[in-house]
Structure 1
Amino acid sequence: MAEDDNQQKLGKAERDIVALGIAAAAIILFVVTGSSVLPLVAASIMGTGAAPDNLLVNAMLLNIALMIFGWRRYRDLTSEIAVRKQAEEIARKLAETDPLTNCLNRRSIGSATEKLRRMANARGQATAFVMIDLDNFKQVNDMNGHGMGDKVLTVMAKRLRDAVPDTSPVARLGGDEFAFAMSYSPDHPEKVDELIAVLFEKVSGKVEIEGSSVDTTMSIGISTDHDLKGKAAGIEDSENLIHHADIAMYQAKKNGKNRYFWFEPTMENELRFRNELENGIRRGLKRGEFVPFYEQQVDISTGELVGFEMLARWKSPELGLVNPDVFIPIAEEIGVIAEMSEQLMVQAFTDAQAWDSSLTLSVNISPVQLRDPWFSQRLLKLLIENNFPAHRLEIEVTETCLHENLGLVKSMIASLRNQGVRVSLDDFGAGYSSLSQLRSLPLDRIKIDRSFVSELRNKDSSKIVDAIISLGDGLQMPITAEGIENEDILAQLREMGELKGQGYHYGRPEDGSQMLERLAENGKLAKTPPVVTKTATEAVDEIDAAQEQRRA
């Protein structure tokens, strides 16, 4: 609206009535006075008549001056308006264009898509909106610098413009996100799929810049104002198309990246549920809804209880008891996994003080936590504050942690072991650990992944488990077998060596109060009352306060 008002004002200025009126009046008066004065002037000069009246001469000269003034004013005004129009055009272009890639920006792609959509609808065509996100682009900036990242974005933008139809508006939405709109025949949506295949072939891939090579992949989401059967989908405007493409692109990210998805209505429900989970997790952290459960760890040769593995559970007022497979990945993505883990450990340390001092506590550590160089110091501080002996704690790290930053992880593991904390490699066999890594890392234990243990009847799985046990013997590392579900599996493992085991054969995970009842029945409670330095709620409040200080 403001832009239309400015255009109207400029139009009125171009037709300045005052300037035009002065010029028109001066011309009319010049014609009147000139027709009377000029013949007399001519006659006077030739000596055939009397001189004209001075008043008429002065009136004619004034008319000439007014004509010159009106013309000059109108010329200057039109020149100024032309300059203003040029400046406003440049400002408009800057406001609608991404300065790095010269593509459209997020502000302008909506109107450009709507314009394309109206034209397509008039021709009986459909409109697709395609959103593109470069995978793991943060690593490009972190490893090569933002200057290199900008050059990669420029190259990708050029490749994208070259690949899409000339009529398609192309935009950089911000960061490493691009988008474009295209029209197609509603009876042939496969044309869009074909173009996407071209994008994966010609846009993503290696980018060579100044002797450096950067590998790029893309996650793509597609929406359309028609369904895949060619019928109009009732899309109100381009904003809905953009929103749906964003949801489909998130689906591609969630399913492994380097792929594309068409938008489906069920995706929106999933995203809404995901947002509800995120909000619920944040609320749950403040309310102390995340609690530790404990799975027994047993010496399979003697059947003696030797410790517990702490497992996270979410006691949600809305969802009930939620397993960690649901909320742990989301907590990692939204950056609250460290806060959650510390809350759970404080509660577990409090619970474990009531156990017999021979029982150990195993805690899983997220790869996200091990990216923090101060993790080991924070963990040792928690042990001291909660009066929990370091030698009773065993942290479990996955093979994924080793590949992300081996040097940092090795340093943190060494720091923890120096204080008495033991470290085990969890889910061994499911990742890509090498023998050199196992020999170089100061590990205390290997845990065989449950997928091999539960399939011991399978000949190949049996050989793998046997090989891992032999490897542990060679490296002098004790072995824990996860996933012992029945007596048959237990009998096979007993024949393979001296192991520690855990699984549903020994019982389901239980909360702190249930575990105390089990320990009381088996005479495994602490001989002296535990020294409780603070309640779990107080500890949670302290961790929240510490988190706030770190964020500040």
Structure 2
Amino acid sequence: MASAAMDSGNTASGTPGIPRAERDIVALGIIAAAIILFVGSGSAVLTRTVRHVLFGGASVDSILANALLLNIALIIFGWRRYVELTGEVRERRRAEETARTLAFTDPLTGCLNRRSLDSAIEAMVREAHAQGEAVALFMLDLDKFKRANDLHGHQTGDAVLVATAERLRTTLPPGAIIARIGGDEFTCALRFDPARAAMVEQVASQLNAALAEPVHLTDCNVDISGSIGLARSDGAMIPQEADEAAIAARLQHHADLAMYQAKSSGRNRFCWFDPAMEKELRFRADLESGIREGIARGEFVPYYEKQIDIDTGRLSGFEMLARWQSPRHGLIAPDVFIPVAEEIGVIAELSEALIRQALIDAREWDPSLTLSVNVSPLQLRDPWFAQRLLKLLVEANFPPHRLDVEITETCLHENLPLVRSLVASLKNQGIRLSLDDFGTGYSSIAQLRSLPFDRIKIDRSFVSTLDRCKDSATIVAAITSLGQGLDLPLTAEGIETEGVLEELRKLGSFKGQGFLYGQPQDAQTVRAALAAEDLLVGGHDHADAAPAQDRAANG
């Protein structure tokens, strides 16, 4: 009997073979058997013991007495083991419940987590369809959360997430699903009557308003907002014959696309999924893979836009512009692929390939002609950018003084000390520097004086409307006066009409570029045009570059 009790205890500790409920019954059975034996043997032993004490009868059989004592000990031991066993079972059940809670809920906010979200949505879709209802899915991402997290610390970020979860619970109707799927992203779902879809938009508006309220913490107030993507289970792009798992997956995909659309549309708003978003996503994916493959295959080529001295009409150089000769989409302008290349981290590789080819093309031009190239703000975050550019110059055997690197105003606000160091390195090698798109950013006169720029380029948005917009004329006149005061030559972009050209001539001396002088052209076309005007180096040695440039300058 003692052995059986010990066996049952070992089983409770984890020995396989006997289910938990059966172990409880075995332990109780041992105790019950011991009690029956106690009753059976105890009645005889106790009766004889009382008689022997009171009347001097026959003494108690020692074997029966020992059996009685053994039964008493066994009852005590069995009861103790049963109590321990039930305690172990209770603790194990509590641990399993805790583990189950941790596995299916977010420990910080108490919301469901990504693992449990799919099954919860599937169950809601199943119940909604059975009741003739639909499910609306909200994909929510907090705006400016990363900035607040970096500024105030992770504890503040956690407090903001907890406050967000509480606002979701307060705003959403009873029975709604709330899940945190990672970082600052939440997913919510609710059932609604398809004939009352406006109710979903009302809830989304309330969520936007609730999330835009400042989060008041002990040491600071945090201002955030939320961008929300909406999708519905009875949408046109969701096959109604699909099972619940497929519908749940499509809902999340559609709401995710709509959320990114809400972010790109200005944040702090909601946006319904539209089938065009999926087409745009496929195009974006094709664009990304096409860019990566196109760089390796040499599909990105330099085009060249003329730069003209507007006083003499003489060609002074070219600005290199990027073009993508895609075998699938044709010739693509840079405003389509440059932002994507920056986002996927290949802009430096793309830019260097274009500059390398442009330097090879330009070394055949007359030495009086300069080459201007634009660099991305992301490239100026690389402390080795100057060395990379100098290496390209050496490889192409191109004179540094003929290269003009154009830097946009936005670069000056990201890391001015690094930009100043790079600018100094380029200047020390004889490379010229221009401040591009001047007037669209926030450059100060102090920055213009502290950085050794050789030229200012006035943004085309002001120049192209110079002859018909008083504000543009005032801005161009002010920039011209500033350039003259700082002794910085000026280039005007966007000269498209004779009227604009005439107005510029009234203001001063400029280099000009724009469609009035022709569209950007590929290297072969430019080379043919220069050959017709005898503006190619031809068989002349590069040692003649400086005399040729002096002859061009002297007319």
How would you bin the TM-score normalised by the shorter chain?
0.7 to 0.9
Q: SS of the residue aligned with 2:195?
A: coil
State the TM-score, normalizing by the size of structure 1: 0.81
Give the match for residue 258 of structure 2: 248
Aligned with residue 270 of structure 1, among 264, 270, 280: 280
Give the match for residue 533 of structure 2: 522
> Does the C-alpha gap of structure 1 residues 332 and 256 become closer, same or farther in structure 2, counting only changes over 3 Å?
farther
Contact kept? 1:27, 1:63, Cα under 8 Å: yes
1:83 equivalenced with 2:94 (yes/no): no
1:107 equivalenced with 2:125 (yes/no): no
Contact kept? 1:296, 1:502, Cα under 8 Å: yes
Give the match for residue 494 of structure 1: 505
Aligned with residue 389 of structure 1, among 379, 387, 399: 399
Give the match for residue 208 of structure 2: 200
Question: Greater CA deviation, 311-320 or 156-165?
Answer: 156-165
Pairwise mapping of residues 111-190 of structure 1 onto structure 2 (< 5 A)? Answer: 111-165=119-173, 167-190=175-198
Find the aligned partners of 1:242 and 1:465 in 2 and give their Cα distance: 50
> Does the C-alpha gap of structure 1 residues 253 and 339 become closer, same or farther in structure 2, counting only changes over 3 Å?
farther
Find the aligned partners of 1:529 and 1:34 in 2 and give their Cα distance: 127
1:183 counterpart letter in structure 2: R
Give the match for residue 236 of structure 1: 244
Query: 1:439: Cα distance to partner?
Result: 4.7
Find the aligned partners of 1:530 and 1:255 in 2 and give their Cα distance: 56
Query: 1:66: Cα distance to partner?
Result: 6.1
Pairwise mapping of residues 356-375 of structure 1 onto structure 2 (< 5 A)? Answer: 356-375=366-385
Query: 1:310: Cα distance to partner?
Result: 1.0
Give the match for residue 465 of structure 2: 455
Find the aligned partners of 1:399 and 1:235 in 2 and give their Cα distance: 54
Pairwise mapping of residues 325-474 of structure 1 onto structure 2 (< 5 A)? Answer: 325-460=335-470, 461-474=472-485
1:470 counterpart letter in structure 2: S
Query: 1:13: Cα distance to partner?
Result: 0.6
Q: SS of the residue aligned with 2:176?
A: coil
Give the match for residue 19 of structure 1: 27
1:95 equivalenced with 2:103 (yes/no): yes
Find the aligned partners of 2:289 and 2:239 in 1 and give their Cα distance: 37
2:465 counterpart letter in structure 1: E
Query: 1:448: Cα distance to partner?
Result: 2.5
Aligned with residue 503 of structure 1, among 505, 510, 514: 514
Aligned with residue 485 of structure 1, among 493, 496, 500: 496
Contact kept? 1:204, 1:217, Cα under 8 Å: yes
Query: 1:330: Cα distance to partner?
Result: 0.8
Q: SS of the residue aligned with 1:306?
A: strand
Query: 1:309: Cα distance to partner?
Result: 1.0
Contact kept? 1:187, 1:229, Cα under 8 Å: no
State the TM-score, normalizing by the size of structure 2: 0.81
Find the aligned partners of 2:524 and 2:168 in 1 and give their Cα distance: 60
Q: SS of the residue aligned with 1:516?
A: helix
Give the match for residue 294 of structure 2: 284
Query: 1:57: Cα distance to partner?
Result: 7.4
Query: 1:55: Cα distance to partner?
Result: 7.5
Find the aligned partners of 2:40 and 2:540 in 1 and give their Cα distance: 120
Contact kept? 1:14, 1:81, Cα under 8 Å: no
1:523 counterpart letter in structure 2: D
> Does the C-alpha gap of structure 1 residues 52 and 425 become closer, same or farther in structure 2, counting only changes over 3 Å?
same
Residues 31-61 of structure 1, C-alpha deviations (whole Å, 9 max, x = no match): 7777888878777777699889888777777
1:474 counterpart letter in structure 2: G
Question: Greater CA deviation, 333-342 or 102-111?
Answer: 102-111
Question: Greater CA deviation, 175-184 or 359-368?
Answer: 175-184
Find the aligned partners of 2:208 and 2:141 in 1 and give their Cα distance: 12
Aligned with residue 223 of structure 1, among 231, 236, 251: 231
Find the aligned partners of 2:213 and 2:421 in 1 and give their Cα distance: 35
Give 5+ residue unaligned stretches, structure 2: 1-15, 543-555
Larger Rg: 1 or 2? 2
Residues 104-161 of structure 1, C-alpha deviations (whole Å, 9 max, x = no match): 3322333333444445445544322222223344433444444544444444444444
Find the aligned partners of 1:346 and 1:173 in 2 and give their Cα distance: 45
Q: How many corresponding residue pairs?
A: 525
Query: 1:26: Cα distance to partner?
Result: 5.2
Find the aligned partners of 2:198 and 2:238 in 1 and give their Cα distance: 11
Give the match for residue 7 of structure 2: none
Question: Greater CA deviation, 418-427 or 97-106?
Answer: 97-106
Find the aligned partners of 1:346 and 1:447 in 2 and give their Cα distance: 24
Question: Greater CA deviation, 76-85 or 187-196?
Answer: 187-196
Q: SS of the residue aligned with 1:416?
A: helix
Query: 1:279: Cα distance to partner?
Result: 1.8
Contact kept? 1:292, 1:310, Cα under 8 Å: yes
Give 5+ residue unaligned stretches, structure 1: 1-8, 532-552
Find the aligned partners of 1:432 and 1:308 in 2 and give their Cα distance: 27
| Percent of residue pairs bearing the same amino acid type | 57
Residues 475-512 of structure 1, C-alpha deviations (whole Å, 9 max, x = no match): 33222222233444434433443221222232222222
Query: 1:96: Cα distance to partner?
Result: 3.0
> Does the C-alpha gap of structure 1 residues 489 and 88 become closer, same or farther in structure 2, counting only changes over 3 Å?
same
Query: 1:276: Cα distance to partner?
Result: 1.9
> Does the C-alpha gap of structure 1 residues 190 and 375 become closer, same or farther in structure 2, counting only changes over 3 Å?
farther
Query: 1:331: Cα distance to partner?
Result: 1.0
Find the aligned partners of 1:191 and 1:38 in 2 and give their Cα distance: 81
Question: Greater CA deviation, 230-239 or 125-134?
Answer: 230-239
Find the aligned partners of 1:254 and 1:187 in 2 and give their Cα distance: 30
> Does the C-alpha gap of structure 1 residues 348 and 65 become closer, same or farther in structure 2, counting only changes over 3 Å?
same
Q: SS of the residue aligned with 1:187?
A: helix
Find the aligned partners of 1:350 and 1:53 in 2 and give their Cα distance: 118
> Does the C-alpha gap of structure 1 residues 213 and 371 become closer, same or farther in structure 2, counting only changes over 3 Å?
farther
Pairwise mapping of residues 531-546 of structure 1 onto structure 2 (< 5 A)? Answer: none
Query: 1:307: Cα distance to partner?
Result: 1.0
2:187 counterpart letter in structure 1: A
Find the aligned partners of 1:216 and 1:438 in 2 and give their Cα distance: 35
Contact kept? 1:293, 1:310, Cα under 8 Å: yes
Find the aligned partners of 1:268 and 1:199 in 2 and give their Cα distance: 25
* RMSD (Å), alpha carbons: 3.7
Give the match for residue 4 of structure 1: none
Q: SS of the residue aligned with 2:19?
A: helix
